[in-house]
Structure 1
Amino acid sequence: MSAFSNLASIASCSAQAATIDEERMDAIRGLTDQDVIDRRARGEGNDAELQTSRSVGQIVRGNFVTPFNIILFLLGVALIFMGQISAALTSSGVLLLNVVVGTFQQLRAKRKLDQIALLTRPKIAVVRNGAECSVDPAELVKGDILVVQTGDQAVVDGALLDGQLEMDESLLTGETDHIEKRAGDRVLSGSLVVSGKAYVEAQEVGASSFANKLTASARQFRTVETPVQREVNLLVRVMMLIAVIFIAMLLITSYIYDVPAVRTTQLAVVIMGLIPVDLFLMITIAYAMGAVRIADKGALAQQSSAIEALSAVTVLCTDKTGTLTANRIRYHGVHPLNGATQAELERMLGSFAASAASGNKTSEAIAAGLTGEELEAADEVPFSSARKWSALAFDGGPMPGVYVLGATEMLAPYLADSESFDAQIRAWSDEGLRVLLFARNADVSTLHDTQGVPALPLLTPLGLISFTDELRPGVQETIAAFQAADIELKVISGDNPGTVAALARQAGMPADLRTVSGTDLAQMSPAEFAEAA
């Protein structure tokens, strides 16, 4: 991009400028016009062009120059010298068919891969020269101060400077739980702002941003020789060697015994017939038919031979959320603790879900299953996948104090006793239920320390809450098909191992499957890890 276009963009930005709040002016002034020009000159702009790893010319050349095609070409040339034009045309026809099918398939895959994009391209609010304006994402540079708010998508990686956000990173991680971001936290490109407003400093732009790296990885072309290709290559080389030896012997014999040239040519053609040209044709057609069939099911094969490689799969790793399950949960039941009654526990739990300003799948499932009074919270900590808990604080009213809902292992450090309900957790987990703990401290009404960091007091357990994950429609039939094909399935999940194992059994996986926790993996030696994998 030229310096003139840079200046034009900056001028437009200045013309649209809206003054930032006076109290933030000193802390967040953004870059100057000259800063933007200098950084773009150093290659720190957000204007990366992401394409697949091969150009159209490389794809065409790559399909012409293959071991199969070289052999077919040499065979065709030899047959022409022998005067066998029809046989040479057959060899050349197979060669051309192989080239056309391979090129068409890879060009189609390239077009689809080039369309893959995690980032949308609307105008971005940015702070420059102490004023807020809108620019195209390609005009951003490293060090820019972005203004992001509800509904925006982060287009670069950066650090949150001021404000608070609730982010949806499902495009990047597959997990749909919203994540709270505060000052100092990292914001990843490709994530969506669910709520809040904040100033974010751009740190990784262009091709170095997380979303663009992920996109580039998905577009990367990889080639692996399949078992059939290896075996056919070996067979053809052996047959070519045999044919060359026989033809050499034929020429020597014909010279010694003065065999007529016509007879020698006829014998040479017979020997050349040892090379299995029809085998190439059958493989090409089989690959092409496989690519068409798998495309009809919505899959993308970068090269036709991937169909055969897919048939050789023996182990398939999958996650739980959205794959085994439908990414929906339902409220199942409660197990009261410390003298709480079921009715009292359900009333408090329903009010907790109704009063939360930042909902998630769990609170929505509770609200759908229980009724409660919406109360005004004095303080709140939204759910975070890092913390694995959410909390509300009420100053008076029917539920005074701090109430927390979260994973038992994350709340255990704040509990006086957790052994009393371990048996119930194991029992529910064995049934495939997701188990959370509901606890409170009636004597405090704040959830943050003096630095604004979320902090929990000591808690008294009120009860265990169970939820069911809905299995994805058709998952049992799919797993049965994999098992019939002798493909071993491995589930990788961040949830409780017992819960994941129970869900996997419900989906049709073997009853004696082995579970390995993250703690176990961290303690394994390389040999133990290889055996577990």
Structure 2
Amino acid sequence: METSAAPDVDDAAASGLSTQEAAARLRAGEGNTAVSGSSRTYATILRTNVFSFYNTILFVIGATLLALGRYNDAFVSVGLGLVNAVIGAVQEIGAKRKLDGLQLLDQKSVTVLRDGVETELAADQVVRGDVLRVRAGDQIVVDGPLLDGGRVETDESLLTGESDPVAKAQGDDLRSGSLCVAGDGHQLARDVGAASHAGRLTLEARRVTTDKTPLQRRIDFVVRLTMVLVLLMSGAILAQAALEGFTLLRVVQTTAVLSGLVPYGLFFLIAVAYTRGAARIAGRGALVQQVNAVESVTHVDVVCTDKTGTLTTGRLTLKEVEPLGGTDAERTLGRFARSVTTPNLTTTALAAALPGDAVEPRDEIPFSSSLRWSGLVTVDGAWVLGAPDALAPHMATDLADAVASRTALGLRVLVLARADGPLRDRNDRPSLPSLEPVALVVLADELRDDVVDSIARFRENGVALKVLSGDDPRTVAALATQAGLDAGDPVAGPDLDALDDDALDRLVARTTVFGRVAPEQKERIVASLRRRGDYVAMIGDGVNDARALKGAHVGVAMRSGSAVTQDVADIVLVDDSFAALLPAQAEGRRIIDGLAVSMYVFLARVATQGLVILTVTMLGLGFPYSPTQVGLTLLTVGVPTFFLTMWARPEPPDPNLLGNLARFVVPTALITGAFGSAVYAALYVSISKGFSSGRTPAEAVEQFQRYTGLTATDADFVEASATIGAQTGLSTFVCLASFGLILLLRPPARIFAAWRDPVPDRRPAWLVAGLVVAFAAVLFTPVLSDYFGLTGPARPVFVIVLPALGLWFVAVSVVLRFRVLDRVIGYDQLPGKR
């Protein structure tokens, strides 16, 4: 550890703490320690994902089936729940690790006065009451006042969004997270750790705020509704089972089948679709960090964006040099820009645009926000470049009108002038002599190349844009106009503080441009838009945007922005172009379309199975499914929905998704359930009568003995044989009918276009053909048919199933094509439906 003698400090408090005092305060918890994580613990994440209400039911059923030796049934019952639990836990743990790693401060060493000498310490070793030395290039790590008579300038753009340095004098607060860009002084550590500005921002950024998307909420509603119906149905069926003296095994198997009706696989499908969508748009310039943002961005109807770094590149471009004297203004200005030893955005833009060779300066006054001018003394004389109002008292020429006409357009205006004397006073401090204006220099913030086109495309898609900036409202409004926005009357952030929520909502609704807005005001604007029912995306690049990003439905950060902003964002634009949100919207539409058609398939299967179970059970014909037969949903639902989601098109979301689901699912489930129950009953009665009459061939009796594990002399052999035979016929019918529903949802030809118009994509038709072949392989392969609890192929099954399938297709096509359900319930007579 290196130490050096401390300089003289005017303020007595700047003598610093002793080593013993600092150690005592550190032990007392008054140190500048990094804020701890505020997100959920790993144990909580695992517990809530693995032991959810639905998973708990499945685990109990699975454990009972294992105890009874029904290993296949147990695996089918709990497998999907475990997969969903793992996916959910992995995603949440990843988000937690990112949030817990957030730190606004870079934790480099700082200079502190200890025992009267300057000492280099790690930032987390600073304690309340310490005195810190602050120099140009240092990050401010605590909150507190500037002590001595020196002056410093801080860059607070990371905190406030304002790009201009802020001059600080004795007594002014320096805020943690800002950067000292000029000057030298001492600061008292008043607020440290979590109490400091940086600590509070970090804690706020770590707050877990994950919104469910509209599609997620709809699917969640459907699953919850299905669970309620399944619970009611389970109670009725199990009560009947108790009255009829069902065995424990039968009760557990029945419960496993009923729990399998819950379309929990939709959550798994969502995870797969979101992951694939995120991978697709990553190549288009958008890195997705919160997987549901892929779909969420589709619903956005208001985009709030910062100015610097989003609409603009952060660079300046030279628009005009108007000579005011006989000097070659452009070459003089170019020489000035190339000769400065401390270049800034302005001189960099001038050097790139103008001719002129660099010369060795004899003296230089660097630009500072307190002076608002810079000076250079060369062999050609003394030159000054600065703000017109800062130079005006020293010039005889009135430039006010020329300056005002350009600043009204949002342009930055500077004046290049020749000095008639030295640029320093007797005390060697910067001072302006009389000036002779040489040129009016007009610069503009550089718009990003794709901003104008992107804003136009957003407008075409019905998306409104609002600009929230820390810069002057007039400047921001002018830039917004250049970008193609109707800026209207800009509003300054301080004007919002006096407004209540209702007044704020009215103002936000009619305003496009907000300037001089603080982080809290950005957050209020986003909250106002959400209260109005808008779906909001917030784009930002600084820490000052983090709170608004957390409050929006979709938080979007720039790759060049702060690390904190990137970490809290749902999406990071890797090329710093919000044009990447447009392909993200298209990908989100693709996901919604795919998941919507998957919901049709899922719910049609659930409703059909539920109706068949109720009907068959009430008829007293056994139970129509076993847990292993439920595994066939891999063919009827799992595989089809996976591919249909992958092949979806970016079509506009259906605003009446739940209503249309009901209009499709109700009639198809009623018809399919009725035909399925009839098939089951016909086979059950036929097989029972065959065994009772003794007309069943010996070969068939032997096969059923193998299927059931019973002998023909057992008391329940006939019932078990009739049940498994009827279950095989039911499964065959329902599987083939489910494949037919795919053709109705994605019709390859006019004959299937009962629900919607034919689609040019032939892949769904080929998928159906493949599924038919796969099911045939299950039915005709003994190992597979035994695994799924089916009998082998039998002529009576096909004699009943195939004609029923033909009649089913005709019935479903007629009901859907002529919207019979709509007519029966009067749906087509509702306002706006005709």
Q: CA deviation at 1:318?
A: 1.3
What is the alpha-carbon distance in structure 1 between the residues aligned to residue 50 and residue 478 of structure 2? 51
Q: Is the 8 A contact 1:348 1:399 kept in 2?
A: no
1:406 alignment partner in structure 2? 387
Aligned to 1:40: 26
In structure 1, the residue corresponding to 2:119 is in which secondary structure? strand
Q: Deviations over 1:382-425 (max 9, x none)?
A: 333xx69335599xx9559xx562377x9999999776336732
Give a deviation string over 1:421-470, Cα, whole Å, max 9, x none.
3673267x2xxx6221428798998899x9x9x99999998764321333
The alpha-carbon distance between structure 1 residues 233 and 463, as it changes in their structure 2 partners (threshold 3 A), is same
Q: Does 1:327 align with 2:310?
A: no
Across the aligned residues of Structure 1 and Structure 2, the Cα RMSD in angstroms comes to: 4.7
SS in 1 for 2:118: strand
Contact persistence 2:31–2:193 (CA under 8 A): yes
Q: Are the aligned partners of 2:34 and 2:194 in contact in 1 as well (CA < 8 Å)?
A: yes
Residue 468 (structure 2) aligns with? 492
Alignment gaps of 5+ in structure 1: 1-11
In the alignment, does 2:345 pair up with 1:361?
yes
> Map of 1:61-460 to 2, 5 A cutoff?
61-65=47-51, 69-74=52-57, 77=60, 86=72, 89-162=75-148, 163-173=150-160, 177-251=164-238, 274-290=261-277, 299=287, 301=289, 304-335=291-322, 340-341=324-325, 343=327, 359-370=343-354, 371=356, 382-384=367-369, 389-390=372-373, 392=375, 398=381, 405-406=386-387, 420-421=401-402, 424-425=405-406, 429=409, 434-438=411-415
Deviation at residue 76 of structure 1 after TM alignment = 5.9
Q: Identity rate of aligned residues, in percent?
A: 36
Residues 76-85 or 497-506, more deviating: 76-85
Find the counterpart in structure 2 of residue 5 from structure 1: none
Partner secondary structure for residue 203 of structure 1? coil
CA contact (8 A) 2:146 2:168 kept: yes
Aligned position for 1:54: 40
| Distance (whole Å) between structure 1 residues aligned to residue 297 and residue 108 of structure 2 | 39
The whole-number CA distance in structure 1 between the counterparts of 2:166 and 2:103 is 22
Corresponding residue for residue 6 of structure 1: none
With over 3 angstroms needed to count, the CA separation of the structure-2 counterparts of 1:53 and 1:357, relative to structure 1, is same
* Contact 2:143 2:197 survives alignment (8 Å): yes
TM-score, with structure 2 as normaliser: 0.50
What is the CA-CA distance between 1:144 and the residue it aligns to? 1.4
1:461-476 alignment, distance < 5 Å: 464-472=440-448, 474-475=450-451
2:312–2:448 CA contact under 8 A, matched in 1: yes
C-alpha displacement of 1:267: 7.7
Assess if the C-alpha contact under 8 Å between 1:350 and 1:373 holds in 2.
no
User: Counterpart in 1 of 2:504?
Assistant: 526
| Contact 2:338/2:351 (8 A) holds in 1 | yes
- Shift of the alpha carbon at 1:361? 0.9
* Partners of 1:441 and 1:457 within 8 A in 2: no
Q: Residue 547 of structure 2 aligns with which residue?
A: none
Change (3 A) 1:368 1:252: closer
- Note if contact 1:157-1:188 (Cα within 8 Å) is conserved in structure 2: yes
In 2: Cα distance, 1:272 partner to 1:25 partner: 74
Q: Which has the higher strand share?
A: 1
2-structure distance, mates of 1:215, 1:306: 22
Question: How far apart are 1:532 and its partner, in Å?
Answer: 3.0
Maintained 8 Å contact 1:164/1:183: yes
Cα distance change of structure 1 residues 102 and 240 upon mapping to structure 2, 3 Å threshold:
closer
Q: Which runs of 5+ in 2 are unaligned?
A: 512-834
- Conservation of the 8 A alpha-carbon contact between 1:328 and 1:361: yes
Q: 1:140 to 1:280 in 2, by over 3 A?
A: closer
- Tell which structure's C-alpha radius of gyration is larger: 2
Tell me: CA distance 1:52–1:246, structure 2 relative to 1, closer, same or farther (3 Å): closer
More displaced stretch, 167-176 vs 92-101: 167-176
Measure how far apart 1:40 and its partner are.
2.5
Q: How has the CA–CA distance of structure 1 residues 123 and 35 changed in structure 2, closer, same or farther, with 3 Å as cutoff?
A: same
Q: Deviations over 1:227-284 (max 9, x none)?
A: 233322322232222223333444556677x597799988877765542233233223
- Deviation sequence 1:314-347 (CA, Å, 0-9, x none): 22211121222222112221346xxx33746657
What secondary structure is seen at the aligned counterpart in 1 of 2:107?
A: coil
CA deviations over 1:197-254 (Å, ceiling 9, x no partner): 3222222222223333333333332233332333223222322222233334445566
2:193–2:199: 8 Å Cα contact kept in structure 1?
Answer: yes
Paired amino acid for 1:406: A
Q: Tell me, in whole angstroms, the C-alpha distance in 2 between the residues paired with 1:506 and 1:215.
A: 35
| 3-state SS in 2 of match to 1:127 | strand
Is 1:109–1:300's contact at 8 Å kept on the other side of the alignment? no
Distance 1:456 1:71, change over 3 A: farther
Partner of 1:20: 6
Question: Does the 8 Å contact 2:421/2:434 carry over to 1?
Answer: no
Q: For residues 490 and 223 of structure 1, do their structure 2 counterparts lie closer, same or farther at Cα, with a shift above 3 Å needed?
A: same
Q: Which has the higher helix share?
A: 2
Judge which range, 483-492 or 417-426, deviates more: 417-426
Count of aligned pairs: 497
1:3 matched residue in structure 2: none
Native 8 Å contact 1:355 1:377 kept in 2: no
Taking structure 1 as reference, are residues 34 and 254 closer, same or farther at Cα in structure 2, changes over 3 Å only? closer
CA drift at 1:33: 2.8
Among 493, 502, 514, the alignment partner of 2:488 is 514
Which stretch has the larger CA shift, 266-275 or 326-335?
A: 266-275
CA drift of 1:494 comes to 4.1
- Structure 1 residue 124: Cα displacement: 2.4
Cα pair 1:389 1:407 within 8 Å, conserved? no
TM-score (norm 1): 0.74
- In the other structure, the counterpart of 1:9 is none
